[in-house]
Structure 1
Amino acid sequence: MNPFNSKTGRVVLGGAGWSRQIVTDPTSKPVLETILHALSLGIRAFDTSPYYDPSEILLGAAFSDPALTTLYPRSDLLLMTKCGRITSNKFDYSPPAIRASVLRSLDRFSTSYLDVVFTHDVEFVSRSEALGAVRTLFEMKDEGLIRHVGISGYPPAVLADIAVEIRETLGRAVDVVQTYCHMNIQNTSLGKSLGRLYGEGGVGIVLNASPLCMGLLRKGGVPIGELGDFHPAPRGLREKAAEAAEWVEAQDGGNMAALSLRFAVGEFARVDEKGFGVTILGGGSIKEIDENVETVKKTLKQEVGGDEQEDLRSYTTLDQERYRSDGPLFKGVRDILGEWIDYTWDSPDAAFLEEQKKSREQS
């Protein structure tokens, strides 16, 4: 089942931009004003997580504010959050914890239902824990508290395995899968797993998050927030990404972030066999959102005979001519990245696995 339609469009605004991983003081940001601006541009789908502390709290307050609720009916919004991940190295996928997390999210958003709830970074827990958490979300869907159930994580192939196992074991498929850093100018390997996700997994829609690879694919490198440098990219990849950014800038004043976003949105729209190609954008400020929306509009186009208003939701079709015109720049960046094309880091990494092993031995 696919929660996206003409009322939501092809774009989601991600909430990580209001997390301590990304910025030093998220509470100082004008969140309500920023969300209202995003809504005025046609963005209707929003994604966050309790793990993106304090993003869910800040977004919940914004979406509960009368200044927003009087303008935008709840039925016009697509609110997505996650559950199960507590901190960088702590997870709780137990059914009581999953239920408590969802109920807390409902309270934070002052809503009677959430459109999508994902298990957060599902590859970090055992399959039995993952199945138990998803079973609980299915129960809450049957109770009307959740409209769609999803799983999220880093490696698309692992997510496909889990989606297939859920369908085979629980007798129903997850509606949405969210993966990140696997459909961008450095890594397009999500495409290899789409067939299995949609086929054996029965997934309704796949979402592509982190089109800039968590800030790596831009001038200036990865963002450093209150929690320090959390990005797992090794030095070699960082150096090549920086070199590519300098090269793009030298091409008539090009912008690496904008080029990377054009590639991610365009390539996903091109290869997504269901024709959705929904991308989760970053943007914790009005300026960032404006820049990202304008970039999307240069990649997608309005359907002939469709809504001619300047609303992002009406941009649904890949602009093939513009996508092809960017080809030399895309190739130049990928040539510089060279051996790092389609590189993926381990998730979970060796340090996490060792810590979990020690914890089990001590218990």
Structure 2
Amino acid sequence: MIPLDASQPIYDVPDPSGIPDANEDRPLPGKELPRLDSGFSPLAFGGAAFSGHYQSEDHIRSSEPFRTLRLALRYGITTIDTSTYYGQSEIVLGSILRALEPEFPRSSYKLMTKCGRFGGNKQNFDYTPSTLRKSVQRSLERLGTTYLDVLYLHDVEFVADPIYPEDPTGDPTRVIDDDTLRAVWGLDENKSRGEGDDKIVAAYSELRDMRSEGLVRAIGITGYPLPTLLRLACLLTQTFSEPLDTLMSYSHHTLSSPTALASYIPLFFSPSRSHFSIPLVRNLFCASPLNMGFFGDRQLPSWTSVSNGMKAIRKEVIKFLEEDEDGKKRWEGGIVDLALGYGFRRGTLSKEIPTVIGLSTLNEVHEAVRVWWEVNEDAFFEHRHVDKFKAARRKELEKEVTSMFERGGWLNWSWASPPLL
């Protein structure tokens, strides 16, 4: 994390003339992604992959980030998500995008970034309007642009008043139809609950001002706890008499949380379900289909918040997919492929909801696009060839994996965010 008043690191893109542009740097013919009606791409490039959160400095300084982003753009992954919190991510992305301008001018992609969070602790949040404006100006300079397509208040739950149960962990879908839980989470009172909520309202007002000035084109909020996101969406809609332009949720549409986000979608989009005359949000982004690396094929990050019980089931899932009764792999792509397929399929979600995923290498881009087409081709295009046997097998294994989490008592489990003190 780089404080606003600190000197900015310099990122030099390797000389593009010396960077390979081979077959692996080009999309497979006919596999470019479609554009959604909203103008966003169905997959969004997660810029945290270009930071120390997930990658070594050697990787970031190599030609791989340039080649990875170039390939993603060539495939039609034209929505790019980052944050001032993601270390040097904005700097790396901006440097690469400037180098790619001859092939991809600014009008060919959408940039989303976040403001208000500047470190890993609660005291590193600053939602004061003057700080947010300085943050946006720095983001514009870093990204080499005069405007942002989307600007979010980052991780609003850390600033909002702590309206939630003593132990907020567990299944967020229970909250929706339980009057007692709805009251505990504050979902039936569309008003500020204290100083924290007031800070969010003032910060959002500043974002609206920057939108009216043309610095940003859409504004919204991000966070983890779905009940808190719903409560704040209600508060902001009530305060400003308009829906949020966009909202981002993460880790709530995965193999271990198969119905969490889907259960909240009607509340975000349907006025009748949210008791408003207008929707709460216009656009929704779904991030982290691998649950912050939980369904990755690497060692779990040290800062992961998932429980030991879930980690034990993860081991069972990996073993289950690795070998069947005949000693053969149940699913060739393993846990990553299966999790991506579930996260990308729009079955229980609207196909207008893009998925944000971190991509670090050429192979990850190719694989993400391959899996996206495998699970969505029939949804976006009629009369395309779909391997019905493989599709049925995929869904069968997804069902078994989610059942493993359900039997263990961890289905749709959400961790405490912010952590309990």
The answer to whether 1:276 aligns with 2:352 is yes
Higher strand share: 1
- The structure-2 alpha-carbon separation of the partners of 1:257 and 1:304, relative to structure 1 and needing over 3 Å to count, comes to closer
Structure with bigger gyration radius: 2
2:322 corresponds to which residue? Answer: 249
- Counterpart CA distance in 2 for 1:168 and 1:154 is 21
2:60 corresponds to which residue? Answer: 27
- The structure-2 alpha-carbon separation of the partners of 1:122 and 1:237, relative to structure 1 and needing over 3 Å to count, comes to same
Q: CA deviation at 1:305?
A: 7.3
1:357 corresponds to which residue? Answer: none
CA contact (8 A) 1:300 1:319 kept: no
Deviations 1:166-214 (A, max 9, x none): 0101222211110101001101311121111113453111111010101
- Specify the SS of the correspondent of 1:49: coil
- Counterpart CA distance in 1 for 2:85 and 2:104 is 27
Q: CA deviation at 1:254?
A: 4.1
CA contact (8 A) 2:38 2:352 kept: no
Q: 1:289 aligns with which of 365, 370, 376?
A: 365
Q: CA deviation at 1:131?
A: 1.1
CA contact (8 A) 1:221 1:242 kept: no
1:219 corresponds to which residue? Answer: 297
Q: CA deviation at 1:139?
A: 0.5
Q: CA deviation at 1:120?
A: 0.5
Specify the code of the residue in structure 2 equivalent to 1:166.
Answer: L
Describe how 1:70-219 pairs up with structure 2 within 5 A: 70-89=102-121, 90-125=124-159, 126-188=196-258, 189-199=260-270, 200=274, 201-219=279-297
Q: CA deviation at 1:129?
A: 1.3
CA contact (8 A) 1:21 1:230 kept: no
Q: 1:298 aligns with which of 367, 371, 374?
A: 374
Describe how 1:61-76 pairs up with structure 2 within 5 A: 61-65=95-99, 68-76=100-108
Q: 2:402 aligns with which of 334, 348, 351?
A: 334
TM-score (norm 1): 0.85
- The structure-2 alpha-carbon separation of the partners of 1:153 and 1:4, relative to structure 1 and needing over 3 Å to count, comes to farther
2:186 corresponds to which residue? Answer: none
Specify the code of the residue in structure 1 equivalent to 2:268.
Answer: L
Specify the code of the residue in structure 1 equivalent to 2:269.
Answer: Y
Q: Give the aligned CA root-mean-square deviation in angstroms.
A: 2.3
Q: CA deviation at 1:321?
A: 7.9
- Specify the SS of the correspondent of 2:217: strand
The answer to whether 1:38 aligns with 2:76 is no
**Which stretch shows the higher mean deviation, 252-261 or 175-184?**
252-261
CA contact (8 A) 1:298 1:322 kept: no
- The structure-2 alpha-carbon separation of the partners of 1:283 and 1:137, relative to structure 1 and needing over 3 Å to count, comes to same
1:315 corresponds to which residue? Answer: none
Describe how 1:308-327 pairs up with structure 2 within 5 A: 323-327=391-395
Specify the code of the residue in structure 1 equivalent to 2:44.
Answer: V
List runs of 5+ in structure 2 lacking aligned partners: 1-34, 160-195, 324-329
- The structure-2 alpha-carbon separation of the partners of 1:255 and 1:153, relative to structure 1 and needing over 3 Å to count, comes to same
TM-score (norm 2): 0.74
CA contact (8 A) 1:248 1:333 kept: no
Q: CA deviation at 1:143?
A: 0.3
The answer to whether 1:11 aligns with 2:43 is yes
List runs of 5+ in structure 1 lacking aligned partners: 309-317, 352-363
- The structure-2 alpha-carbon separation of the partners of 1:117 and 1:252, relative to structure 1 and needing over 3 Å to count, comes to closer
- The structure-2 alpha-carbon separation of the partners of 1:181 and 1:305, relative to structure 1 and needing over 3 Å to count, comes to closer
Q: CA deviation at 1:41?
A: 1.4
Deviations 1:73-104 (A, max 9, x none): 21221110000011111100110111111111
Q: CA deviation at 1:24?
A: 2.8
Specify the code of the residue in structure 2 equivalent to 1:180.
Answer: Y
Specify the code of the residue in structure 2 equivalent to 1:190.
Answer: L
CA contact (8 A) 2:47 2:81 kept: yes
- The structure-2 alpha-carbon separation of the partners of 1:4 and 1:113, relative to structure 1 and needing over 3 Å to count, comes to farther
- The structure-2 alpha-carbon separation of the partners of 1:95 and 1:321, relative to structure 1 and needing over 3 Å to count, comes to farther
